[in-house]
C-alpha cells in the first residue's frame, strides 16, 4: 500500500473509532437521547472527517517531503476512512435501544481497534499484544473520561 494511503487510512480509522466512541458514550450519559447521539455521530462523520483530512494535509505539507498527489491521497484517505468508520456506529443505533447500542458500539470500536493494532504491530515486528493493549487502554481512558464528562454535564445542567 502506498505511504499516503497508509497514513490516511490508519489515522482516519483510529480517529473515527476513538472519537466516535467517546462522543457516543458522553452524549448518552449526558443526554440519554438517541437523536442527539445519532446527530453527534453524523457531525463527527462529516465535520471531523474534513477537519482531520485538512490536518493530515497540512501535516504532510509541512514535512516538505511529499508530492502534491501524495498529500491529496493522504487527505482523501483520511476523510474516507474517518467518514466510513464513524458512520458504522450508526448501525447499532438503528437496531437497538440506546444503552444496548452504545455498549455494542464500544465493543465494535474496541474490536476494530484491536484487530488493526495487532495487524499494525505484526507488520512492524513489534510485540502485537503489547501494542494492542496499549491502544485499547488509551481508547478505554477516552471512553471513561467521556462518560464522566457526560455524567457531570447531566448533573450540572439538567
With a cut of 50, list the residues of the chain below it in pLDDT: none
pLDDT, position 83 = 97
pTM: 0.92
If you search the block for the grid coordinates 499516503, which residue do you land on? Answer: 4
pLDDT, position 4 = 86
pLDDT, position 135 = 95
Nearest CA-CA partner of 142 in 97, 112, 109: 109
pLDDT, position 134 = 95
Amino acid at each position: 500500500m502506498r505511504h499516503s494511503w497508509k497514513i490516511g487510512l490508519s489515522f482516519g480509522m483510529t480517529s473515527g473509532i476513538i472519537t466516535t466512541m467517546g462522543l457516543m458514550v458522553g452524549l448518552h450519559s449526558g443526554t440519554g437521547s438517541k437523536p442527539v447521539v445519532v446527530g453527534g455521530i453524523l457531525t463527527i462523520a462529516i465535520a471531523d472527517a474534513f477537519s482531520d483530512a485538512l490536518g493530515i494535509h497540512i501535516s504532510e505539507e509541512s514535512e516538505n517531503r511529499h508530492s502534491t498527489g501524495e498529500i491529496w491521497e493522504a487527505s482523501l484517505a483520511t476523510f474516507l476512512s474517518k467518514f466510513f468508520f464513524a458512520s458504522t456506529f450508526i448501525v447499532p443505533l438503528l437496531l437497538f435501544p440506546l444503552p444496548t447500542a452504545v455498549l455494542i458500539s464500544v465493543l465494535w470500536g474496541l474490536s476494530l481497534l484491536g484487530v488493526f493494532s495487532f495487524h499494525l504491530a505484526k507488520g512492524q515486528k513489534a510485540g502485537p499484544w503489547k501494542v494492542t493493549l496499549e491502544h485499547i487502554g488509551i481508547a478505554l481512558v477516552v471512553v471513561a473520561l467521556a462518560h464522566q464528562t457526560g455524567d457531570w454535564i447531566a448533573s450540572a445542567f439538567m
